[in-house]
Amino acid sequence: MAWRGNLDRLATRDNLRRRNVDITSVMCHFCDEYEETVDHLLTACSVAIRVWETVSAWCNIPPIFAFEFKDLMDSHNSIQVGKKAKKIILWLAIISCWYIWKGRNELVFNQMRRSPQEIMVEIKLRGFGWVKNRPSCKYISWKDWCKYPMYML
């Protein structure tokens, strides 16, 4: 998903229109205020902004501000933390993008609206599963992960 997002190849409404797919509207499903592009959906949409604010606060890092999808994938490089923390932040950014995209698809295909808080719960769950299966982090607890994901560094 991150690879496709980086190449602007996700099936957003804007990309579908450019491929001559007959769609009723190109407006963002979440906010209905701007065209649904990869960059808008994952960086500028009000839902995405709230997710990034919550991820930043949870990780105790400076706010993640991105104008393009590529900025999200590079955001870990501008934060003054260790190499291991940068890797966790990158993976949390990828997981966050996936769950924003999944939330969008649930709205499009199942008419189920996910709040930024619900998306955040899914990010924490998937992130915990990923980190817990790393050899160096196998003793991490769910309670500690939810409180502060960088504590084990």
pLDDT of residue 150: 83
Residues of the chain where predicted confidence (pLDDT) is lower than 50 = none
Q: Could you give the CA distance from residue 111 to residue 83 in angstroms, rounded to a whole number?
A: 40
pLDDT of residue 73: 94
Q: Which has the closest alpha carbon to 141: 131, 90, 99, 89?
A: 131
Contact 140, 152 (CB under 8 A): yes
pLDDT of residue 153: 63
User: Would you state the structure tokens that stand for residue 130, as one six-digit string?
Assistant: 């990923």
Q: Longest C-alpha distance within the chain, in Å?
A: 51
Contact 115, 87 (CB under 8 A): no
pLDDT of residue 58: 95
Contact 13, 26 (CB under 8 A): yes
List CB contacts of 96: < 8 A, sequence separation 6 or more: 51, 52, 55, 119, 123
Q: Could you give the CA distance from residue 17 to residue 40 in angstroms, rounded to a whole number?
A: 15
